[in-house]
Amino acid sequence: MKKLHSLALEQKEDAKHGEAFFPVQRYITKLTPDYPVVTTHWHEEAELTLIKKGKCLYQIDLVDYEVKQGDILFIPPLFLHSISVRGNEEIVSETYVFHLNFLGGNSTDICSTRYLAPMMHQEFSMPFLVTKRHPAYVSLKKMICQISTLYDEAVFGYELALKSIFLQAVFLLLQDSRKITSPDSGTPSDKLKHVLDYIEIHYAESISVSDLAKLCYFSDYHFMRFFKKHMNMTCVEYINNLRLEKSVELFEQGNTSILDVSLSVGFRNLSYFHRAFKKKYHMTPLSFIKELEK
């Protein structure tokens, strides 16, 4: 059985994108009314995406971007981002996630110290959305097509070619960037990351709104509005969604005790876990376990 769509990804992803010596991975993402969102998350890798079909809303660093077929998106390391479709809309995108260390970000040459390392530390303001009006669009579109072909064919030495193309793409994007001399601290994005990190660590425990509000130095009321505004769901909905994703991981790892899984991810009421699981995945936990065993 194929894995269920993982829509509540760990907000700071622990997943490895590619391999240790080749940290590049391609993802084909399809969002539909049944699976309409990739929840807010971030990771140490950069992303280069081509929207192949449809339109959707990207939220990057808590700013909304309406994107459509043909648009290109670049998300530097550590930036919060999410994707969602509305109504009956659908979206298909092709994304390449790559670590800047693959390009030499961990070396000590001038390319790393002057450009790649500052990018990894969010010291550059770079264009997130590249439309057909952007001067670099045509070149970037050709590069993504080259990357796709190389990734599919994997000819001898293709890793070298991919590395050079990613470097060219970064060069083009840097032409429309500016250096940030003193990055802000304590921004709404930083506060939200802090909250999501806390939830990721403590999801199996009892978490109250007050606990989360204190992390931001907000009142409970202000925090609830803040979270709903930037996550498009309440913090309780988010926590339950994450717990359900964690339960799926445990089932896929071979755990078959529904009660044990329910308790280990933070659901103290088995009936509530059943209802929540069925609402999200359109099947009961037992049905899901049986499907895995086929």
Across the strands, what pairs with 64?
59
All domains in the chain, ordered by first residue: 24-179 (2.60.120.10), 188-293 (1.10.10.60)
Return the DSSP state at 102.
G
Is 40 in contact with 84 (CB distance < 8 Å)? no
Q: How far from the centroid of its chain's Cα atoms is residue 9's Cα?
A: 7
- Report the candidate in 242, 244, 187, 179 with the shortest Cα–Cα distance to residue 216: 187
Please report, for residues 50, 151, 191, 287, the alpha-carbon distance to residue 61 in angstroms, rounded to integers and kept in the order given.
19, 29, 12, 38
Which tokens go with 19? 């391999």
CA nearest to 48, candidates 94, 6, 2: 94
Cβ atoms of 50 and 69 closer than 8 Å: no
User: pLDDT 10s per residue in the chain (294 long)?
Assistant: 333 333 334 444 444 466 778 999 999 999 998 888 888 888 999 999 999 999 999 999 999 999 999 999 999 999 999 999 988 999 999 999 999 999 998 888 999 999 999 998 888 889 999 999 999 999 999 999 999 999 999 999 999 999 999 999 999 999 999 887 665 557 888 899 899 999 999 999 999 999 999 998 899 999 999 999 888 889 999 999 999 999 999 999 999 999 999 999 999 999 999 999 999 999 999 999 998 887
- DSSP one-letter code for 67: E
pTM (whole model) above 0.85: no
Q: Tokens standing for 7?
A: 């829509």
Half-sphere exposure of residue 267: CA atoms within 13 angstroms, side-chain side:
23
